[in-house]
Amino acid sequence: MGMTMTQKILAAHAGLDKVEAGQLISAKLDIVLGNDITTPVAVNEFKKIGFEKIFDKDRVAIVLDHFVPNKDIKAAEQSKTCREFACAHCVSHFYDVGKMGIEHALLPEQGVVTAGDCIIGADSHTCTYGALGAFSTGVGSTDMAAGMATGTAWFKVPSAIKFNLTGKLPCNCSGKDVILTIIGIIGVDGALYKSMEFVGDGVKNLSMDDRLCICNMAIEAGAKNGIFPVDDITIKYLEGRSEREPVIFAADDDAEYEKTIDVDLAKIVPTVACPHLPENTRPASELHHVKIDQVVIGSCTNGRMEDMEAAYNILKDKKVVDGIRVIIIPGTMQILRECVERGWYTAFIDAGAVVSTPTCGPCLGGYMGILAEGEKCVATTNRNFVGRMGHVKSEVYLASPHTAAASALTGYITEYKEV
């Protein structure tokens, strides 16, 4: 049997002609990533083991994005540890205040990751970069420490599920609705330690922002990684951006998949994941009775330009309904700047929203939008576990930027219908 796209990338980085599902391999890494929460733990392990230098100053990326600018003394100490380590080892990809962005929006934007890469990150949503045709996956901080020192990591080669995409999305839907629909079908453990490989004629109808969003949430189905084939859209995105020459891998015609799931994009509807699991999905049209207190548009899932544009198109020249807090968080400083230059920042403020510098803050219940007991939030984030965004008796409803912005205007979960 042939190999899947993921297996081909892993075989190349392991220096092997062929790998099979379940095989244990040691693979060379192109990028090792950490953030302001996970890097300090990795630094402690790095020192404890006795490592003295990183394998390549240009292949380690440290992004301060969860609590930056620092929200308290603990956050400040964590960031200080990151700064000192980055300085001591001359880390070229170190992103602090003024340069920071949400890591999984920032690295693709800056060309730090590219097609054909093998990437680990001490953050579960590192699987985002599969949108570029890379193998990328989240690991623990100890694995990050070893990766920074040796430039290698151990993997068990995953088996794969093929998602055959056809058709084109309705205008009020995006990649978020696609991945929520899929997770609703297979469940939060439906792809446990498997590769979610997205193929088919429908791929060409998905933008890069759609693909980044879909791969970002592969972990919410338990997947080891999510991955898209490299096509003209990918190549155009990478041109003039990638630091290294992209390497294109493609699955063999006889690659083995555990199963194939067909997804007609034309049949996708605005979808919401209700508390307290991403698999608890329902059409937004069935949830108009749910009264909300807060809307968050941003995160590593939906903080990119197309997400900001969707919010702008819905909120411009309108007012957020009284009693609703709306927090908009561009994913990177470049995205924030473009929003300002296009006049979107002003439109958001005029609508009654607040715009933050890039941060993961509210997504993990950190800051910039914590929920009190009994409060409900529609968020474009990726998780809605108990207590995820604040009090254990608060509720998070996951949705697309279209649904979130439309809900901000009514105070209830609202399906956006283009006028």
pLDDT digits (tens, 9 = 90+) for 330-382: 999 999 999 999 999 999 999 999 999 999 999 999 999 999 999 999 999 99
**CA dist., res. 313 & res. 310, Å (int):** 5
Q: What is the pLDDT of residues 104-128, one digit of tens each?
A: 999 999 999 999 999 999 999 999 9
Stretch 78-93: mean pLDDT, rounded? 97
Q: Do domains 5-264 and 272-408 have the same CATH topology?
A: yes
3-state secondary structure of 208: helix
Pick from 381, 316, 352: nearest CA to 124 = 381
Tell me: the pLDDT tens digits for 174-223? 999 999 999 999 999 999 999 999 999 999 999 999 999 999 999 999 99
Give the per-residue pLDDT at 325: 97
Superfamily of segment(s) 272-408: Aconitase, domain 3 (3.30.499.10)
The domain at 5-264 falls in which architecture?
A: 2-Layer Sandwich (3.30)
Helical segments of 187-326, H only: 208-216, 232-238, 299-302, 305-315
Q: Is the Cβ–Cβ distance between 97 and 68 less than 8 Å?
A: yes
User: How far is residue 330 from each of residues 15, 142, 312, 355, measured CA to CA in Å?
Assistant: 39, 30, 12, 8
**CA–CA distance, 251 with 229 (Å, rounded to integer):** 8
Specify the pLDDT at position 419.
57
User: Above pLDDT 70, what percent of the chain?
Assistant: 100
Indicate if the pLDDT at residue 418 is higher than 80: no
* pLDDT, mean of residues 294-302: 97
Helix (H) or strand (E) holding 5: helix 5-14
Domain segments of the chain as ranges: 5-264, 272-408
Return all residues near 408 (Cβ < 8 A) that are at least 6 apart. 295, 315, 320, 321, 324, 326, 351, 353, 378
